[in-house]
Structure 1
Amino acid sequence: MKKVLIIFLVSYLSSLSSLAQVKVESSLSSVEMLVGQQVELSVSATTDENANVVFPKEALLPEGIEVLGFVEVPDEKVDGGQVRHRRNYVLTSFQDTLYYLPPFTVKVDGKDYAANQLALKVLTVDVDTTNYEQYFGPKDVQDNPFDWELDDWALPFWLSVLLLVLLAVLYYLYIRLRDNKPVIAHIRIVKRLLPHQKAMKAIEEIKADKMVASEDPKEYYTRLTDTLRKYIEERYGFNAMEMTSSEIIDQLMKNADQESLAELRQLFLTADLVKFAKYSTLINENDANLVSAVDFINKTKIEQPVSQEPVKPQYTQEEQETRKRRLVLKTTIAVIAAGCVVIFGAIAYYIYELL
């Protein structure tokens, strides 16, 4: 019996010693609060340094009390080498009554330890419904003062002003460029005709104008001989336009055959009589001279490949200055347009960030 009693006393004293090492407490930041306000319920457990402490995630509270969340508080050391663990729960209520809060249970090394019981009084605001004039309804939406130095809209605003100015300048320059008559450099490709082709083209025009049957043979023979003179000048390389008929014949004697020159000599003789002696010709005579001119061209022509060469325009000093000014104007318009695009992108980005 003595041994059993001793064992029982030892176990009892050890259990009392273990209980003395764990201390669980709870407290409220305020025992009273108005409807809708918040109070903190602090639960602490003082244990050995190596103890495993688990606070409840959800507390069993009476209906009408809501837990909005909890806040972990850093551990702190106390006398005797122990550590105080603490967690604060945020409570609120919307019913005016007195609540008794059941003790929070904290698990220490697998054992449950209950904290002390608490009471919370929720109060309401007294309203005198007989004097309702002293209460006012909700205020309307009020505009906050606009401060350029502190407000983030200053930069987008001034960028927008700059963009409008640049767009106005861009429109003005565009109008100037549009209304100014452009000097466009056109390079024409000229098809160079051979001398006999030019002459035959002129004779076809004489035929089309029906000058063979014209009542004024002087104009007819003038055009016909001028056509032959231009052909001879380009074909043989001497200035036939400034030479007399006899001088032309003498010069051609060195190159052309006698048969073609005989017909040509008769043609020039008839033309001189018509132009200087007022000689009248018949229609069949005019036709014969026209045929003689065509035969002379066909017998003396030289076939060469048709060549083409570009004809570049020649600009005056004023036109060159105009071209330079237009080039500068186009470059300026392009630069301003690119700047407007960049500024618009920056404005859109700032507004997107602010919204």
Structure 2
Amino acid sequence: MIRKKLFNKIFSLLILFVFVNGLNASNGKILLEAKVDRTNIKIGDLINYSIIVTRDKDIKIEMPDLGANLGAFEIHDYEDLEPEKKNGEVVQLRHYIISTYDIGDYEIQPVTVHYSLPNDTLWKELTTESIKITVESLKPSEEGDIRDIKAPLEILKDWWLTIRFIIAGVIIVLIGILIYILYKRRKEGKSLIPRREKPKLPPHIIALDELKKLMDDNLLEKREIKQYYIRLSEIIRNYIEDRFFIVALEMTTFQLIGIMKENQVEDEIVQLVEKFLMNCDMVKFAKYIPRKKENKSTTELAYKIIEDTKIELEPEPDNGEDAENLNPENVDDVGKEEADTSEALELETAVEKGKGGADA
């Protein structure tokens, strides 16, 4: 609530620089705006940056990842507001507080929103314009202290010719090594492109083991937060590959969520995965520094995704010994023996489950 009041107060007092892109059509209207409260700042100053989508209520949209690439700018805080209805239209806002600590002219990169018009299954794109920001030094007098760079050293022609021959030789050697590797793999009947081997253990066992190793490394205590989120994201993406047979490691969050929906994965699971990956993307790509409770909630999401989607297969009984003892003289007793064996297996399973509950 405090954060929301802060944003409303800032944006009601400052003049906004607005960059608009939109579409008006017979079957719908959608307008995309990107706003900043200033385009000239001193080094370290905060910029209020907003993305606003105004659309007809029948138009579906996919907002960009919270970890959208903002170029040289770091995200200090953000807020994703609930959609509001105004004059028969839906307005959706996302606010960022960003800054940079380098002097010069920079651009806030364009942001893309995906949308789908009524009675149209094809998703289209609407992209904002880039926003130019000038960052000035706190001490204008420092500009006079900048000295000209030294002239580049001139490489003698004979040396330059030698360097070119060395580079050409290295390239030829690398090509030779590549051809040898491809030939050897083809001769051994292996794929030219190494493929990931099918896991020998169930996907959830592998994922839980990797999570335990991650926890034992204590990266959060060491303040290696970005590395923690990179590994955490890779563990869940690997799990999704093995569990749902989706090439998750090679997809963006938006692409992966779209494929999971196409494969008719349960909506609750898709929402869990989307929330988890967006939290990871904020740290990996937007330089966002999460709080301790955010670290805990994101880690709990990883465990919940595995717990809610794991598949446990019970081992099948071994009937090999019964088959060996089968002979023409006791064919009439086969049905009775199979029934007795089935009852014994059910009883054994019930006992094992009872022991498991007691141990827990």
Q: Is the structural similarity TM-score above 0.5? A: no
How does the TM-score come out when normalised to structure 1?
0.31
How does the TM-score come out when normalised to structure 2?
0.31
